[in-house]
Chains A and B, each alone.
Chain A
Amino acid sequence: MALGTRTANLAVVSAESAVLIEARSSVGLISFGTTAVRGEFRGALVNGEIDVNEPSHASLVVPVTSLTSGNALYDAELHDRLNAQRYPEITAELRTADAVGPGRFSVSGDLTIHGTTRRQIGTLAIAISKTAAASPEQPGARTAAPVVVTGLVVVVSGTLIVDIRDFDIELPGVLMLQIYPDVTVSFRVTAISADTGRTDN
C-alpha cells in the first residue's frame, strides 16, 4: 500500500441517498423513486482520492417494494412485473473502476433485477470530503435522533440507461398505457465512515 493510503469502510446513509427510475410511456414520463438504499464500500484512498489500483468492494441494495410513483396502480404493476415476492431486492455490485478524470470513474458492475444479472458499464462522479454528517440509523438504537459524527463523506452519483427486456421483464402495461423498454436510472448515494481508517505514512 502506497504512502498516504488509508482504508475506508463506508456505509450508505439512506436519508441522503436516492434512486430514481424514469420510464417513458405513451402518456409521458413515469417516475419511480426510493430513498431506501442500503449498501457499503470498502476501498483504499490516496490523498483523498479512490485508489483504483487497490482492490475495492462496493454494493447497493434497493428493496423493490420501496419503489413508488405516487400512483398505487403503477406501483402495483411495477412490483408485479418485477415479481417482488420472489425477487424482493435490486442489487448492484461494483466490478471494475478506472479513473477518467478528477472525481470521475468509468465503472462496470453487475446489476441484478428480477433475479437476472447483467453487466453494466457507465460513468460515476464521486465526491469525497471530510465533514460532519448524520450516521446511518442503527438498529435498536435508543434514540431516534441521528448521531452526528465527523468522518469521511463520499457522494456517488450517476445515470444509467437500462433496457428492462435484458432482465427478462415483461413490459408493464396499465389499461391502454404503453411503457417503453429503455428506462433511465439516476442515483445519488451518500456513504460515510467514522474516521477510523488506517493511515500508512
Chain B
Amino acid sequence: MEALLAFYFGWSMGARSGAHGMEELNAALVSLRESDEFAGLVVALRSHAASIMREVAERVEGADGAPMGMPDVLARVYELIRTTTTDSA
C-alpha cells in the first residue's frame, strides 16, 4: 500500500514538473510496450498460464483419463467403451 502511495505522489510530482515531463514518460511507456522484451514477457506469461491450466486439467482428469468424481453414468460409459477398445485390440 505504501508503495502505491509513493508511486502516486511521485507520479503527481512528475506531472507537476510540466507537460514535457509527462510526454517523456508516455513516450517511454509506449516504447516499452512496443519493445521485444515486453512482447517476450507477454508470451512467457501466456505460456505459463497455459501450463498451469494444463496441469490443473490433468489433476482434475486423474491418472486414468477419466474425470474424478464423475457420475455413475459416465463411469459406466468409460467402462463400456474401454471394453470395446480392449476387445478390438
Contacts and interface: CB of A to CB of B under 8 A. Distances in A.
A50 to B, nearest CB: 17
Contacts of B81: 18, 20, 157, 186-188
Interface residues of B, number: 24
B80 A188 contact: yes
B28 to A, nearest CB: 32
A96 B56 CA distance: 44
A18 B80 contact: yes
A88 to B, nearest CB: 18
A155 B53 contact: no
Contacts, number: 67
A28 B76 contact: no
B84 interface: yes
Interface in B69-89: 69-71, 73-74, 76-78, 80-81, 83-84, 87-88
Contact of A31 (B57, B74, B80): B74
A17 B84 CA distance: 10
A34 interface: yes
Interface residues of A, number: 23
A141 interface: no
Contacts of B56: 27
Contacts of A69: 67, 70, 74
B37 to A, nearest CB: 27
B84 A155 contact: yes
Interface of A: 16-20, 26-29, 31, 33-35, 68-70, 125, 127, 155, 157, 186-188
14 contacts: A16-B80, A17-B80, A18-B76, A19-B77, A20-B77, A20-B78, A20-B81, A31-B67, A31-B70, A33-B77, A34-B73, A70-B74, A155-B87, A188-B80
